[in-house]
Structure 1
């Protein structure tokens, strides 16, 4: 499903050592606790750019008995493959494994292969997270197997200079009104896109895949029903949304970009498209792409408090401690520290990773000025994301959710974007892939 995400890390973190020590003192580990002269090494596997690099260094400074050896995998899909391979082999997993929301249900199928963090103090800190985030990481036996990092409420990134040149409002409040404010719909989004295309002759958004992802995530039930049954074939609501998406592509609103490859950022700086769907963590991606393409804050990207179709959440991750860890006590302490309010403020400042910890959501480090706010024309990024998070409900993600998103609908998105197939033809192709890759696998 995703994701090559986030760009850089900012700010050292202090003051959370006492919390880590509390968590560390709740149980014994199978390994040596280490010392400053002979520290133990904790291995961590993440994906994209989760904003932890400087936090690792800070943790080592505050815990001289610990060394952190981090491995970062480029995308969530590749991280899933890495985890599945090592899980099947019964060896090679790290002490702390990052898990993406889209494949959390796969992890839950083998949740007994992960440590119950209640054994390491989870009950003492479980109130820190929004309720639905904690529920996502709790298995059917009541074991908490993951500490929440970010959540992904979505707003709309747009290029104010391109909007203005097309005769559209460019002020973020006016842009929110343009799309319908609290009553924003996908019909209105595509209508504005048609206005833009008519005025400029250019595409409105980069490609259809991210829009489709948002549309699906907004439904009460996505690719699976709440009781775990497939919910795709003959789903009239999804087919209706797919038709809207196909019509937008047919009208020239999609720039037919390859997902996660925008020509080394050039598409963000040369006017290839003007609007982009943005969960919090995507803000860092946009900033990084603009800079890679030779641009900066003056390129004109802004962030509006609006999203077609209403509240939506895309993504979010968890830190788990596999049973393969030789140092579960120390690994759980590190995972707890990395997901403390202080740490989540730091990762937000780095890349817009909106906290799942409630205390961090209202922290001045999130609601106030940051490198991201300056880049996005002084937009109150944290405040907007807090508003966009209202009404978000965690959608059940089935075991093949990420496969359906990337391997079933991914090729069909390319078919409509390239105009090689109609929406109906591309949907039919997706259903064939669904039966090959999921139903009859």
Structure 2
């Protein structure tokens, strides 16, 4: 599997016995081949152990943490880290659910994706309350809604935030210029309507590109649909925890807009998290791609896997149809089964501190949830990743795109609905096997089958 990050939330895993998600998440290794300079404090709230303590860590996708463990070990004698990175967020969800149900095998530090929060919060008492390890003292590190997401109904803080997922549009400037359309960042943003960009305009411009080139506008409809859903104040669930899909006319209207795009040939019908081993990012199969910050590392990894490089033409624009949107973002948690909760909490504290979030951004484009890190020169300045994207000021753009983002409530089966209800229906659209109405009806039937009302 090529380096990639979250599930549609994370990636499609064919496991019949467990409900998967796709809404926010990840796969692979960091999208940058460089080793970032981490810097920052190595202090921890846990005393140095009298003998070697091994801490197990499970992450997923391109979280940008892999290059940090050696520094922590060097700065904290007596700590050894055994890290496992699972390819996609969807597969990581299955791994966590399996071990959670068995009551065995969970790591000391477990990465949790935004799209799983509904499931995680239903068993929040099986996670360590990080307030016992100083969470209240550092809670102002993060944007407030990130802390809110990790706080359960009893006020227990069970996770430290890693990244958030503000979204912009990745686009191939060379392909657009060849089609006689603006290929620079500002011109592309204006083409979509700038501050007033809408999905209607996005599809309209896509039809113009299709008419000029005969090629698709975006890779596949699933990621676009996920982005649309994430922009609603309430997505698949209402804030009171009730389902919000059937009889949701606003949601259905967006679905029909998406369906019209597919019927018009704007989708390249790529396989999620594959893209032909990255070749579709290089051969002109599509010209645009929805990009939360963590997806930037995915794009770079895919282009390079497909034989391309910075000269292939990918760029990143400060524009997003429909306004501010967040896709994904993760947390580091400490299951109560950990035999070393103080040491595990100290590691999670350090991994999510300012300089480590800067390093994660440099490695994978994971935009910090720590407020001070967002304006750090390591985020706003040049890096291997910015050079790949035509010297785009990635950190500055993502900071602008993060303005106005509000965390959407994620219910217990949010990921199941995204992947197992709408996932197959999206494939019907992209393959031309069903029109919008038929595909929607299919989704409603699947909803009745896989999600309890």
Normalised by the shorter chain, which TM-score bucket?
over 0.9
Q: Is contact 1:96–1:320 with CA below 8 Å preserved after alignment?
A: yes
Match of 1:121 in 2: 134
Residue 13 of structure 1: how far off its partner (Å): 2.0
CA distance in 2, matches of 1:288, 1:214: 21
The secondary structure found in structure 1 opposite 2:328 is strand
- The answer to whether 1:7 aligns with 2:31 is yes
Shift of 1:64: 1.3
- Superposition deviation, residue 15 in structure 1: 3.0
1-side partners of 2:89 and 2:67: how far apart?
A: 21
Q: 1:361-400 CA distances to partner (integer Å, 9 max, x unpaired)? A: 0000000101111000000000000000000000000000
Asked if structure 1 preserves the Cα contact closer than 8 Å seen for 2:316 and 2:392, the reply is yes
Correspondence for 2:41: 16
For 1:106, the equivalent position in structure 2 comes to: 119
Q: Confirm whether residue 244 of structure 1 aligns to residue 257 of structure 2.
A: yes
Q: 1:58 aligns with which of 65, 71, 77?
A: 71
For 2:452 and 2:100, the matched residues in 1 are separated by 23
The counterpart of 2:49, out of the listed 34, 37, 51, is 34
Residue 62 of structure 2 contacts residue 298 of structure 2 at CA under 8 Å; is this kept in 1?
Answer: no
Give the aligned partner of residue 227 of structure 1: 240
Pair 172,362 (structure 1): closer, same or farther in 2 beyond 3 Å: same
SS in 1 for 2:162: strand
Gaps of 5+ in 2: 1-8, 11-25
Deviation at 1:12, TM superposition (A): 3.5
- Kindly tell me the number of residue pairs found equivalent between the two proteins: 428
4+ residue runs of structure 1 moved beyond 3 angstroms?
Answer: none
Contact 1:42 1:67 in 2 (8 A): yes
Report how far residue 7 of structure 1 moved. 2.1
Note if 1:401 corresponds to 2:425: no
TM-score, structure 1 normalization: 0.96
Rounded Cα–Cα distance in structure 1 between residues aligned with 2:280 and 2:103: 43
Corresponding residue of 2:439: 426
CA RMSD between the two structures: 1.0
Do structure 1's residue 179 and structure 2's residue 192 form an aligned pair? yes
Secondary structure of the residue that 1:67 maps to in structure 2?
strand
1:85 aligned to 98, 102, 106, which one?
Answer: 98
Distance (Å, rounded) in 1 between the aligned partners of 2:156 and 2:284? 49
Could you report, residue by residue, the CA deviation over 1:29-64 in whole angstroms, capped at 9, with x for unpaired residues? Answer: xxxx634xx411000001112111120010001011
1:70 aligned to 2:95?
A: no
DSSP 3-state at the match of 1:45: strand
Structure 2 residue 352 is matched with structure 1 residue 330: no
Deviation at 1:325, TM superposition (A): 0.2
CA displacement at 1:437 relative to structure 2: 0.2
8 A contact 1:146–1:318 mirrored in 2: yes
Tell me how far 1:16 sits from its aligned partner.
1.2
TM-superposition CA deviations, 1:117-145 (whole Å, max 9, x none) = 00001111000000000000000100000
Alpha-carbon offset, residue 234 of structure 1 = 1.1
Match in the other structure for 1:188:
201
> Which of 129, 136, 139 matches 2:149?
136
Aligned equivalents of 1:404, 1:189: Cα separation in 2: 25
Aligned to 1:375: 388
